[in-house]
Amino acid sequence: MAQKNKRAVILEAAASIVEQSGAAHLTIDAVAAAAGVSKGGVLYHFPSKQALLEGMLESFLAQIANRTKAYRDADSSGKNVALTARINEQYEQSPAQKAMGRAILAAAAEDPEMLTPAREESLVAFKEAAAGSAHAEMGWVLLLAVEGLRLLEMLKLLPLSRGERHRLHLELLELARLYSA
């Protein structure tokens, strides 16, 4: 198996720190120790904590895009494929991905401009949700439900059991297919 590149190892270490200790403990020194590289090695790839956070956002959005694409490619139903892919992608987020989202939110509170790439992705998501749905508003409602779930899960505020969460996931998929264009 090929060794992961250092940049990916550093980003995984950063997400792990946030997952285990919270965003306040995300420092270059902590990331270096967790990644098993020198502080200079981290700084080579990410010259500042801000650059590290931007790298985390870039990685987070790329992971979402890759999972969404995989679900689109695998969906043979053809009913609201873009929205059902997003519903499935959100449901399959790992704890590390949720932690990475928490770190990004913490950083965005200090620098809202950091979210510019996420804003651009959001525009695409809303256009796709509207285009795939018989009624644009229903596509938006379902997308908002999915993103609300992402946020609540990211912040560990979702009060649903695993079974309840699973039933909700299936209901969202059914609604997306029912209201397909």
Q: Is 1 part of a structural domain of the chain? A: no
Q: Sign of dihedral through CA atoms 76, 78, 84, 86?
A: positive
Burial 158-173 (b: 16+ CB within 10 A, else e): beeeeeeeeeebeebb
pTM beyond 0.75, yes or no: yes
Q: Is 95 a member of any domain?
A: yes
User: Is the pLDDT reported for residue 76 higher than 80?
Assistant: no
- Quick check: is 131 in a domain? yes
149 lies in which domain range? Answer: 6-178
> CATH no. for residue 23?
1.10.357.10
Judged on CB neighbours under 10 Å (0-12, 13-18, 19+), 133 is buried
Neighbouring C-alpha atoms within 13 Å toward the C-beta of 159: 0
List, for residues 31-72, the tens digit of each pLDDT value: 999 999 999 999 999 999 889 988 988 888 898 999 999 999
Question: In total, how many domains does the chain have?
Answer: 1
Q: Reply yes or no on whether the pLDDT at 130 is more than 90.
A: yes
